[in-house]
Each structure stands twice: as C-alpha cells, then as structure tokens.
Structure 1
Amino acid sequence: MIGLVLAAGAGRRLRPHTDTLPKALVPVVGPEGPEGAADSLTVLDLTLANFAEIGLTEVAVVVGYRKEAVYARKDALERTYGLKLTLIDNDKAEEWNNAYSLWCARDVLGHGVILANGDTVHPVSVEKTLLAARGGGKRIVLALDTVKQLADEEMKVVAEPGRGVRRITKLMDPAQATGEYIGVTLIEGEAAAELADALKTTFERDPDLYYEDGYQELVDRGFTIDVAPIGDVAWVEIDNHDDLAKGRVIACQY
C-alpha cells in the first residue's frame, strides 16, 4: 500500500498565499512568506508525516497548478520523511475538477492507496482508523466524521449498516446525513479498475464534478463503499482564510 495526495488545486480563495504556491504548499505551521518559508510546514508536510508514521514508504502526489513548486521541494520532502515520492501531472488542473485529478493517478491505485486531499489537516489517527477497518471484503473505506455539526458546504454522506454508502454529495439536507467525508480514503488494489472506470464516466459527463461523484457512480452500479467513523477529532478542510486560521490552531495540537 502507498500514499496518494491530490495536490493539483489552485486554492483561489486563499490568495495571495496561492499566487505562487498550490494550496497544498501554503504554510500551516511556522513562518510565512511569499514562497513559503523553508522551515514552515504545509498540509503536504503534515500528510507525508502521517504516511511515514503508519509505515508507508512510497507516496504519489498529483500536481497541477504551480506544480514547479512541488517539483522544487521533492528531494527535500523525500529526505525529511524518508519516503519515495512520485509526482503525477494533471494537465487540466486549472480547468477541471478533481474527479479527473484522481483518475490521473489510476495507474497507482492498483498498489492499494490511502488517499488524502491536499487541503485536509488531520491527525494520524485518521489513517490508523482506516487501516484498522481493513478486511472483511472491504474495498473502499471512507473516513467519516459523525460528530461535527453539518452545514451546506460539507461533503455529506448517508451510510446504512451492512450496505455502506448510499449517498455522497454536498447537495443534501444536513439533517439527513450520517456524517461528513473528511477527504481521506483507503482504496484496496482490487477496487482500482472499477474506480477508474467510474471516475472516467464521471468527468466525461461533467468535468466540474468531484471524485466523490465518482464514488456515487460506483454506489449506483452496486459497488459497496464502506465508512469508518474517526471519532471526536479536530480536523479542517482548508478552503479559505478562516479555514487556514483553524488549520494553524489544529496542526499545533498534533
């Protein structure tokens, strides 16, 4: 099993931080600067540290917007976290949504991956929860926050015991949801081909769709996607400056 990070996004709501950096390289811990200080930690740093702690040795990172900044740091990141990094180019990162971005990594899905969005600050307990949920025929397991009070923006999930995910979408009454998908998934290698096909169907239908819409496509085809509740842990998806401030507080707790 390897790690996989989606780090191709522009993060326009985080400007001016993202004028020169992809969202995954915006400093979360330590000094800030127009190019990101060398001794600061980013979401990508925090995610790679999590992967290293659970014993992974290889990580693929999908890059797109300002990808040269990730390429420039590749060697240093490998040395710091003891990981072998493979960078995968998304040629449509500034045009299409992340269903295509995950599909770009289809060739590594067969190794089995723990997928993490490049804008999610979360503790390593999330990865450990997913690993503990392996087995029993599960092929895809989503990390689910069943504690947080939900609103309109969250990626909401309806899950049923024994049947797994029934719906995953932002376009849902929060009161109907079982919880929020936090942007971290365990994908077993045997799910790779079916997931890649569902993602292709999804972005060909509408390139603005999310990879979670690809998950819904799988569910609609009869594929079982399971969930693993992460418990009452602090985490945040960094979309804007308020989220970044929260992320800086949360990251200091780990």
Structure 2
Amino acid sequence: MYGVVLAAGRGTRMRPLTDRRPKPLLPVGNRSLLEQVFEAAREVVDEFVVVTGYRGDAIRESIGESYRDRPVHYVEQAEALGTAHAVAQAEPVVDDDFLVLNGDVV
C-alpha cells in the first residue's frame, strides 16, 4: 500500500517558524512532523509518495529517497488548489491502494 503524504502547504499560521523551512519539517521531540507521520504509517505502508510545494527541495534533502527501508517518491503541487488536487498529483506514481496522510499532523 502507498502512503500519500500531503506536505505542500506554506504553514502561514506557524510563522516565523515556517519562514525558512516547510511546516512538515518543524521538529516535534527528536523528529520532524513528517517523520512522525512516516513512523505512524510505516507498519501499513510499503512506499511513501510525498506531495511537495513550498520549499519542497528542503523536504527532499531532509528525507531522501527512502525512510527506514520504505521507498519515498516525490511529486510537486505547483499551485495550491486544495486537498483533492494535491492527492491527484500522486496519480503518476500510485497504481494500487493508498492511504492519504497530512504531513503536518501528529
């Protein structure tokens, strides 16, 4: 099963913390929000697809091509057009059942 993780938002309500990094990379304990989401889903997800937007390069650099032996793919949502649009961006990668997760919620 795929885990489609939505991580494209700007996190404007978290300013100034999100001025230099995307909200999913904000630390919570010893991990980022995004890593907390990966951990929560890791037992049921075989591959992750992260939908990026704002500062997506920082997310790719932080997470890399895999997370604890689970492949991580990246797709970009160039324009913020809502949740359904963000999920649709994963279509070129996802070819089986999938779970949608918010990348900034623990």
TM range (shorter): 0.7 to 0.9
TM-score (norm 2): 0.87
Say which structure, 1 or 2, has more relative contact order (CA 8 Å, 6+ apart). 2
**Could you tell me how far 1:113 is from its partner in structure 2?**
0.7
Tell whether 2:47 aligns with 1:62: no
Q: Map 1:189-200 to 2 at 5 A.
A: none
Larger gyration radius, structure 1 or structure 2: 1
2:92 aligned counterpart, secondary structure: helix
Residue of structure 2 equivalent to 1:86: 73
Q: Distance in 2 between matches of 1:120 and 1:109?
A: 22
2:45 aligned counterpart, secondary structure: coil
Aligned residues: 106
Residue of structure 1 equivalent to 2:105: 120
1:46 aligned counterpart, secondary structure: helix
Residue of structure 2 equivalent to 1:26: 26
Deviations 1:83-119 (A, max 9, x none): 10000111113xx322221111123443111111112
Q: Map 1:218-237 to 2 at 5 A.
A: none
Q: Distance in 1 between matches of 2:83 and 2:99?
A: 16
Q: Distance in 2 between matches of 1:9 and 1:120?
A: 12
Q: Distance in 2 between matches of 1:71 and 1:108?
A: 16
Q: Distance in 2 between matches of 1:22 and 1:114?
A: 22
Residue of structure 1 equivalent to 2:86: 101
Deviations 1:193-225 (A, max 9, x none): xxxxxxxxxxxxxxxxxxxxxxxxxxxxxxxxx
Q: Distance in 1 between matches of 2:49 and 2:14?
A: 24
Tell whether 2:91 aligns with 1:110: no
TM-score (norm 1): 0.39
Q: Distance in 2 between matches of 1:9 and 1:55?
A: 25
Structure 2 unaligned blocks of 5 or more: none
Which residue type is aligned with residue 102 of structure 1?
V
Q: Distance in 1 between matches of 2:91 and 2:63?
A: 21
Residue of structure 1 equivalent to 2:63: 74
**Could you tell me how far 1:15 is from its partner in structure 2?**
0.6
Structure with the largest fraction of helix: 1
**Could you tell me how far 1:70 is from its partner in structure 2?**
0.7
Structure 1 unaligned blocks of 5 or more: 30-39, 122-254
**Could you tell me how far 1:74 is from its partner in structure 2?**
2.7
